[in-house]
Amino acid sequence: MSATSTLATTAGRRRPALMVLCFVQFMLVLDDTVVSVALPSIRDDLGFSATGLTWVVNAYFLAFGGLLLLFGRAADLWGRRRVFLTGVALFGAASLLCGLAQEPWQLVTGRFVQGAGAAMASPAALSLITLLFPGREERVKALSIWGGIAALGGTMGLVISGALTDLTSWRWIFLINLPVAALALVLLPRLVAESRTAREARIDVPGAILGTGAVVCLVYGLLQAGETGWGDAAVVGPLLLAVALTAAFLTAESRIAEPLVPLSFLAFRIRAVANSATLLFSAAFYAMAFLLMIHLQTVLGYGPLQAGIAYLPYGGGILTGMWLSYRAVIRLGMRWTLVASFLISAAGLLLLSGVSPSDGYVSGVLPGMLVTSLGCGLSLPALSVAAVTDTTEENAGLGSAVFSSVQQVGGAVGVAVLVSLATRRSDDLAAATEPLLAETAGFSFALTVAATLLALGAVLVATLLGNRRSASPTDARKPPTDQRAGSATELVR
């Protein structure tokens, strides 16, 4: 089935389809962070050990990040709608298991299956959106909405978790997924036709094993680093194995006729720069969300519900940035939109890094939160557009999967590295100063490093993304004649 035929059958239902896909993406990203505030309640209720509790978070990251490439390619070959719906059904069933868990192993198993379902649904959803909206302006707008909703989901996970944990039970942070999954399973088949690559091809099994194994080992090693330190065998071993598997994967992909990830696909400049910038972006923002929530509760003395409510303006800033991102990309191009948004976010992180134990919310926390969230809302939609530039009906799922995988790996890197830096800084100062001041120093140092990462991302984009002129508005409204899901010459300048 070609991209043209797929779009023809769904042209009148694209907006409802986009709404359904965005709601599902909100749910998937929300579950990245939704357990953060609820962890103490989960520990007390199910009897987790301190080490075992970390796997409530890590199991989701491991499955989501490790299986994205495999299922992204499967979506191209087996059908994007089919893989999306299968992933949503799996995610919904796993959410029910999590909500009803009575033993630690049941919750960890449910979280792993949730991650696997998310790895199926997320890249398939992004590739469907990419193909549903072929024109330049409509595609930028659709991906801006999708990317902004994804960023909002990561933030609102903390808000929703705090509210539900305080007012009801931690179990509802999982059970609220069920209505969204059910609606998607009912509505999407009526709104979106099936699409898959027109060529008869099989999944590259050696590439799938090597690529998935490399990502799983990398994510596992990075997550362990946050718990045990970088010199531990449980960290060094998986990271070395990830390097070896990556080398084997690249060798295998260069020698096979139908590779899982063609090396030319990875080398395409705009996508390569976008994914590199996304790695830095995700590292900074995942770590910021984790560190700020801890800082609000341990240093500023907020309760779970109060901390969740304190995050609400962050969501408003993201929505504002998302609204501006579409217009900025159309007028300025991806390059300068991303440069500006990264620098705005870096400035916001520097403001947040100065929050001390004596600061109030309005004068201390809120200004940095608003500036940071505005930059975040500007960034992610533009990154989404750049990451799927010039993908085609043959590889839209793969492009989406690479982008999503980079986000997950970047998040794992950020949490592992920056949280470790914050902890080490606080420990070094603990003997010489008050505990709250030591905690604040660690928080400030880590956010300063996060701001530096975003500044590096701005330099990377400004230097390497290119300086091409945009197509005219008239041309931009015409679907690409070569069935490409995005054109570099249309959007980058």
Residue 330, pLDDT score: 82
**Model confidence band, residue 455 (pLDDT cutoffs 50, 70, 90):** very high
Whether 22 and 32 map to the same domain: the answer is yes
Say which CATH number the domain at 118 has: 1.20.1250.20
pLDDT score, position 480: 39
In terms of average pLDDT, the best of 8-22, 107-121, 205-219, 419-433 is 107-121
Domain boundary among 238, 259, 280: 259
For 288-314, the pLDDT digits (tens) are 987 887 888 788 888 777 877 888 888
Mean predicted confidence (pLDDT) in 259-280: 85
The per-residue pLDDT for range 126-146, each reduced to its tens digit, is 888 878 887 767 777 787 777
61, two tokens: 């990251």
For residue range 71-87, list pLDDT tens digits in order: 887 888 888 899 999 99
Higher pLDDT, 43 or 372: 372
Per-residue pLDDT for 5 more than 70? Answer: no
- Regarding whether 299 and 218 lie in a shared domain, the answer is no
| Alpha carbon of residue 63 to chain centroid | 14
What is the C-alpha separation between 403 and 69, in angstroms, rounded? 9
Does residue 337 carry a pLDDT above 80? yes
73-104 core/surface letters (b: 16 or more CB in 10 A; e: else): bbbbbbbbbbbbbbbbbbbbbbbbbbbebeeb
pLDDT at residue 482 in the model: 39
Helix 205-228 and helix 396-430, axial crossing angle in degrees, nearest 10: 20
Residue 316 lies in a domain: yes
Judge whether 134 lies within some domain: yes
Give the model's confidence band at 102: pLDDT under 50 very low, under 70 low, under 90 confident, else very high.
Answer: very high
Distance CA 304, CA 39 (A): 11
The Cα 32–Cα 61 span in angstroms is 7
Same domain, 188 and 295: yes
Q: Looking at the structure, do residues 115 and 242 belong to the same domain, yes or no?
A: no
Query: Residue 179 belongs to what domain range?
Result: 11-193+260-491
Task: Answer yes or no: do 266 and 244 share one domain.
Answer: no
In a domain, 4, yes or no: no
Which of 259, 281, 303 represents a domain boundary (last residue)? 259
Are residues 369 and 356 part of one domain?
Answer: yes
Residues 359-381 have a mean pLDDT of 91
| Residue 5 forms part of a structural domain | no
Residues 156 and 228 in one domain: no
Residue 333: phi and psi, rounded to 5, are 90, 165
Residue 328 shares a structural domain with residue 419: yes
Q: Does 189 share its domain with 313?
A: yes
Distance CA 125, CA 103 (A): 33
Evaluate if residue 395 carries a pLDDT over 90: no
Q: What's the Rg (C-alpha) of the chain?
A: 21
- Segment 456-462 shows an average pLDDT of 95
pLDDT digits (tens, 9 = 90+) for 179-234: 999 999 999 998 888 877 766 667 777 887 888 888 888 878 887 776 777 888 98
Whether residue 218 lies inside any domain: the answer is yes
In a domain, 23, yes or no: yes
User: What is the distance between the alpha carbons of residues 39 and 224, in angstroms, rounded to a whole number?
Assistant: 18
pLDDT attached to residue 466: 65
In a domain, 199, yes or no: no
**Which of 9-23, 139-153, 267-281 has the highest average model confidence (pLDDT)?**
267-281
Domain end point (choices 259, 276, 304): 259
Give me the number of domains the chain comprises: 2
Q: What is the pLDDT of residue 471?
A: 35
pLDDT in tens, 405-452: 888 788 878 877 888 888 888 888 888 888 889 999 999 999 999 999
Average pLDDT in the chain: 82
The full DSSP string for 414-459 is HHHHHHHHHHHHHHHHHTTS-HHHHHHHHHHHHHHHHHHHHHHHHH
Which amino acid makes up residue 412?
A
Packing angle between helix 14-33 and helix 136-167, nearest 10 degrees? Answer: 40
Does any domain span residue 6? no
174 shares a domain with 108: yes
Least confident of 70-74, 93-97, 308-312, 486-490: 486-490
pLDDT score of 478 more than 70: no
Nearest Cα to 484, choosing from 398, 396, 402?
A: 396
**Are residues 452 and 442 both part of a single domain?**
yes
Q: Are residues 91 and 147 in the same domain?
A: yes
